[in-house]
Amino acid sequence: MPDAQSDPVIIYTDGCAIPNPGDGGWAAILLWREHRREMTGQMRDTTNNRMEMLAAISALEALKRPCSVILYTDSEYLRLGITQWSANWIRRNWMTAAKEPVKNVDLWKRLLAAVERHNGEATGVEWRWLKGHAGNTENERADVLASNAARSVTYADPVDVAAPIASPKSQ
């Protein structure tokens, strides 16, 4: 039987913007043994990709100590960005292969720091992709939470100042 140190924290994340770009919401469900925590957040003027990233960042930052983590996401952008693309972006000083600035670099750097905190001999983050809206109970719940958060955005919520939102046309 595994001890407390080896039981991974299971995380399901989702994010959305309605429309995209538009009002956004994110959600994370953290599971460890019999414990369950649901987290949500919301912003104005953001994108789906930024909300997907913020869900993972918020979940990893919420963990009080370095842990072994299995993080499920339905975002290939998030999973491939953190597991494959980020090393090349760093090597190219945050430029793409097409020599364009990497989008969402502020969140990629924050995500890398959150992941690094959990990298250790007996800990680390394993990234798993799952198909969205395919019947996985926790993924469906994260989707509902993120969508509800996006639909609950008011003018009191913060604007995502780093999101690449086009400015309104001048009149």
In a domain, 168, yes or no: no
Considering the candidates 23, 25, 41, 52, report the single residue annotated as catalytic: 52
In this predicted model, what pLDDT tens digit does every residue of 113-160 receive, in sequence order?
999 999 887 789 999 999 888 889 999 999 999 999 999 999 999 999
CA angle 72, 78, 83 (to 5 degrees): 85
Told to judge if 23 belongs to the known catalytic residues of this protein, a careful annotator would answer no
Residues whose CB is less than 8 angstroms from the CB of residue 41 and which lie 6 or more positions away in sequence, other chains included: 25, 26, 54, 58, 149
* 23, 45, 138, 143: the active-site residue: 143
What is the model's pTM? Answer: 0.91
Instruction: Respond yes or no: is residue 52 known to be catalytic.
Output: yes
Catalytic residue from among 3, 35, 133, 135: 133
Assess if residue 50 is contained within a domain: yes
Distance CA 19, CA 14 (A): 15
Helix (H) or strand (E) holding 147: helix 137-151
Q: Which of 165, 75, 71, 84 minimizes the C-alpha distance to 123?
A: 71
pLDDT at 168: 43
What domain range includes position 74? Answer: 9-151
What is the end-to-end Cα distance of the chain in Å, rounded? 67
The answer to whether position 103 is within a domain reads: yes
The CATH number of residue 41's host domain is 3.30.420.10
- Token pair, residue 14, equals 């989702």
Residues in a beta bridge with 129:
73
Per-residue confidence (pLDDT) for residue 3, from 0 to 100? 43
Residue 80 lies in a domain: yes
Establish whether 160 is a catalytic residue: no
- Residue 161 lies inside a defined structural domain of this protein: no
Q: What is the pLDDT of residue 123?
A: 84
Tens digit of pLDDT for each residue in 57-115?
999 999 999 999 999 999 999 999 999 999 999 999 999 999 999 999 999 999 999 99
Mean pLDDT of 19-35: 97
Choice among 23, 74, 138, 157 that is catalytic: 74
pLDDT of residue 167: 42
45 catalytic residue (yes or no): no
Name the active-site residue from 14, 23, 157, 160. Answer: 14
Mean pLDDT calculated for residue range 5-20:
93
Annotation says 74 is catalytic: yes
Q: Which H/E stretch holds residue 163?
A: none
**Is residue 157 annotated as a catalytic residue, yes or no?**
no
